[in-house]
Structures are given as C-alpha cells and as structure tokens.
Amino acid sequence: MVSPLAKSIYFLEDLGFFDVVLPFLLTFVIVYAVLEKTKILGKTKDEKPKTNVNAMLAFVVALFVVATKQITDAFKISLPWVVLVLLAILMFMLLAGTAFGDTEFKFDEHKGWRTFLMVIAFIAIIAIFLHGFGWLTPLVGFIMYKWADTLIMGIVLVLIIVGTILLVVTGGKKEKKEG
C-alpha cells in the first residue's frame, strides 16, 4: 500500500514539478545570484546591482533551460549524485575529525587533503554531468574497447616514472652547510 506522502510525490511528478518547476527555480536562483554578485550588467548610482535587469535575464535563462528537455533530464540525473559526492566529503571530514580526538580538524593545516578532495570532487562532478547527458557510457566503452591494455600500462608507467622522480628529488639526505 502506498502512503499518502508517496502519493503526493507521485502527484507532483505527474504535474511536472520535477521537470519544470524545480529546474526553473534552481537555474533562476543560481543565475540571479551570480549576476547580483558580479554586477556584470552594471550598477546603479549608489553602487548596487541592477536588480530588475538581473532578475529579467535570470528569468529568461531559466525559461530557456526548462524548454530544453535534455538539460532538465541531466539535472534530474546529476543533482542527486552531486549531493552524494557532497555527503561523501562530509563523511570523510567527520571521520577525520574523530581521528583527531579533541583537536579540531582544519583544512588550513592539511592542505594536501584539501587539494586531494577538491581534485576528486572535480573529477566526480565532471563524470556525473557526462553521465547525466549520456556521454559517459560511450566514452568509457570506447576507451575500454580501443585502449584498455595500452591505457592501463601507460598509467602504470607514468606512475612509476613520477614515483621515481619524487623519490630521487626528495629522498636524499640534505647536507648541512657549516658556517
């Protein structure tokens, strides 16, 4: 038996709420916020952004986005995965915080972890949106069909070379200068 809350979600889905209203609102808010922050379309005499022009442009852009089914479908596929990546990063930070005990975990003190997480998040976001537009599966299939053995061996070779260079550059003892 379906609960009343599930029925209301199905009703909103049938109404087009997830296909039209939510992508429209998301696009409108993001475009409007960027235009307000950057003041690309100019400022008023008292240095405030031209809010009415920014709102109109954000409205038009949001309507164009909603009119394109491929983009709204990509939103529906991609955004839950983006939230999953965000939750994974938050869980990492939670675990890192517990590992430090009563001291506070700050990315300012661990710049390597911040850079690593940013690179992983960037790669994940690119892969998620490629998947959302349906471009990831053919790309991966082509790479695996054409270059699977060569690609893997090339990556292993590059890692060995980079590792050797890092070992040679950072591994030796430094002599202290007397004086």
Q: Which of 79-83, 95-99, 107-111, 126-130 has the lowest average pLDDT? A: 107-111
Cα of 70 vs its chain's centroid, Å: 19
Residue with tokens 């983006």: 82
| pLDDT, position 174 | 54
Q: Which residue has the higher pLDDT, 158 or 142?
A: 158
Whether the per-residue pLDDT at 55 is higher than 90: the answer is yes
Q: Output the average pLDDT for the chain.
A: 84
Domain boundary assignment for the chain: 1-67, 69-133, 135-169
Q: What 3-state DSSP class applies to 101?
A: coil
Q: Which of 60-69, 89-98, 164-173 has the lowest average pLDDT? A: 164-173
Whether the per-residue pLDDT at 128 is higher than 60: the answer is yes
Which residue from 88, 84, 65 is spatially nearest to 75, judged by alpha carbons? 65
